[in-house]
Amino acid sequence: MSNRRDFIKTTTKVTGSTLLALPLVDACVNDAGQALREIQGTASDINIVGPREGYTPHVGTLVSMLNWMRGVMLQPVRGMSVSDLDFLLDDNSNSIGAMLWHLAATERFYQINTFDGKRWEGLSSADEAKWDYASSLGDNGRRHIKGYDLDFYLDLLENVRNFTLEELKSKDDDWLMITDNNFWSDPTNNYCKWFHVCEHESNHNGQFKYIRSRIV
């Protein structure tokens, strides 16, 4: 964890502009692949999507995608100051810090939903107090989520993710295929829900890159 955090908080031989411009295929053959390994603190299989030890095959494949996307998502925030994390493009935008908290809140919701079988309205008072502003963002997020350093957000993300990884060890491929007929407008299985957690980080990763380019 210390190696990953040091990498995120400092500049490495792969500069932000160069790393963000690298196409996906190059990540397997150049410094971007090493950068991902340093961020994740994992072995050289970070670019291999597939089963992982300790998980059933499809669950492990999901874990490999979650890990890879987490490394990519954290690249553009490395080295950010509190003022960078609080920066707003305009009065209606969300800060990078707020969106990092939002990502942790979203993953926490999917834990509650898929591990405990509850909806957002079933949150405990402790969960609601911790995640409500980050979940909704908007005016509440702009008022309440500011003044925190990068370590604060990294701790939120790491603690939530560690719980996810531990819980997934107890799940199997049949669990991934369990379908919820009342989640979205169409039947949605646990695999889709957790793939959305991965895709959600990809979505905000693009926002992080754009906002970073606008910070002066």
- Tens-place pLDDT, residues 138-165: 998 999 999 999 999 999 999 999 999 9
pLDDT at 214 over 90: yes
Identify the bridge partners of residue 180 per DSSP, sorted by sequence position.
Answer: 188
Average pLDDT score over residue span 184-208: 95
Query: How many whole angstroms separate alpha carbon 55 and alpha carbon 170?
Result: 8
Q: Which residue has the tokens 């380019």?
A: 213
- Tens-place pLDDT, residues 16-52: 333 333 344 344 333 444 444 455 555 578 899 999 9
Amino acid (1-letter code) at residue 118: K
pLDDT at 173 over 50: yes
pLDDT at 111 over 60: yes
Task: Kindly list the distances between the CA atom of residue 157 and the CA atoms of 24, 122, 133, in Å, as whole numbers in the listed order.
Answer: 24, 22, 16
CATH architecture of 2-214: Up-down Bundle (1.20)
pLDDT score, position 121:
66
Query: How many whole angstroms separate alpha carbon 7 and alpha carbon 52?
Result: 24
Q: Do 63 and 196 meet the contact criterion of CB atoms below 8 Å apart?
A: no
Which among 20, 24, 14 is positioned nearest to 209, based on CA atoms?
20
Query: How many whole angstroms separate alpha carbon 58 and alpha carbon 39?
Result: 24
pLDDT at 196 over 60: yes
pLDDT score, position 58:
98
Which stretches within 23-149 are classed as H helix?
Answer: 31-40, 57-74, 82-86, 96-116, 125-136, 138-144
Q: Do 63 and 79 meet the contact criterion of CB atoms below 8 Å apart?
A: no
Q: Do 204 and 93 meet the contact criterion of CB atoms below 8 Å apart?
A: no
Tokens of 210: 């754009």
pLDDT score, position 38:
53
- Label residue 120 by pLDDT band (50, 70, 90): low
Per-domain boundaries in the chain: 2-214
Cβ neighbors of 27 (< 8 A, separation 6 or more) are 33, 36, 47
pLDDT score, position 129:
82
Cβ neighbors of 164 (< 8 A, separation 6 or more) are 66, 107, 111
